[in-house]
Amino acid sequence: MAPLLTSPVALRGLTLRNRIVISPMCQYSATPDGYPTDWHLVQYGRFAVGGAGLVFVEATCVTPEGRGTPGDLGLWDDGHIAPLARIVEFLHGQGAAAGIQLGHAGRKGATRRPWHGSTPLDGADLTERAEAGWPLVAPSAMPMADGWPRPQELSLADIDQLKADYAAAARRALAAGFDVVELHAAHGYLIHEFLSPISNTRTDAYGGDHAGRMRLPLEIAAILREIWPDDRPVFVRVSAVDHMDEGIQLEDTVAFARALQAVGVDVVDCSSGGISGGATVARIPRGPGFQVPFAHAVRQAGMASMAVGLITTPELAETILQDGRADLIAIGREALEDPNWPLHARRALGDDSFDHWPEQHGWWLERRVASLRA
């Protein structure tokens, strides 16, 4: 029997050639007005060539003010559709499904790219790189951390506009040909900010208890499901826990997953952290598969889940699937290290042929094997 990791899987009317998903990874390399460049075509194209079943384009912002950095991708303008469609066409041509993650940075916006410090933009950035900051918005007027700008609290009218912005971006993603849309509700960005009691102190219908804090994320998820075709899946990425006593706990996320399922979401993508710092700043021990228990809890609640976080070997990924702890495996930085990870996973799990490699590569590699045997 073929390993689960490398076997096809159906999500609504979409069949992935395997259960390996390339996680959204920001490249901070878009043009100043949010357009992708050849970097993005090559970045995502190489993962499709490498055999992944589903390749996610990075977090893509629904408004200019929703960017995290000046280099973030955008989908707030119809002009963004064509260059993204070019990427989708290439992914499809290599046998991969194409996914896009829609997001808004909220109070974590207007920051420098990581290699410039990941700190708030200021006058030095304007002088050195012609990059100016912009006003931030959030559920509540609370800065992300000491020394960070204070955001403006979103009004009810602002929230209505935000929902319209997500709807418009989803329609553009559909026009570009994406198979999967994912709502980014993790890592301390705007939708996560609504979910977490650390960042949401509102007293209206969009705050208060857990039901109030879930309201906007569920409304946007329902909007995406209404726009997205019935035969294509909708994902939501969550920070399953905030890693802080006063923050989101796993039982909150399980309840959220059940509510997402009720509005038609298909998969919950289970990450963690980021509400008051970077998503990669650990407050729990980080080891291979350290976030898998979150995906397992969501799956036990009856919702399909995707596991992510230091899943670096095919053997670990296969064990997670065989044990029923997740339905999909997302890899990120390991794919940057080895874009052919999915193809190498096939070999590691017992398939010595080159049948699944691009024919432009496979015939060369078959000849090499023959030469080594001679």
List the catalytic residue out of 28, 44, 166, 189. 189
Asked if residues 65 and 162 have their Cβ atoms less than 8 Å apart, the reply is no
Is 189 catalytic? The answer is yes
> How does DSSP classify residue 1?
-
If DSSP codes are grouped into helix, strand and coil, which group holds residue 21? strand
The stretches of the chain forming alpha helices (DSSP H) are 38-49, 81-93, 123-129, 156-176, 190-195, 210-227, 250-262, 292-300, 314-322, 333-337, 341-348, 359-373
Integer Cα distance of 349 and 367 in angstroms: 22
The rounded distance, in Å, linking the Cα atoms of 341 and 50 is 7
Residue 60 DSSP SS3: strand
Give the count of beta carbons closer than 10 Å to the beta carbon of residue 6: 25
Residues with Cβ within 8 Å of 271's Cβ and at least 6 positions away in sequence, in order, are 186, 187, 237, 238, 239, 240, 279, 291, 294, 308, 309
Number of H helices, E strands in the chain: 12, 13
State the Cα–Cα distance between residues 257 and 248, nearest whole angstrom.
13
Catalytic residues, by residue number, are 189
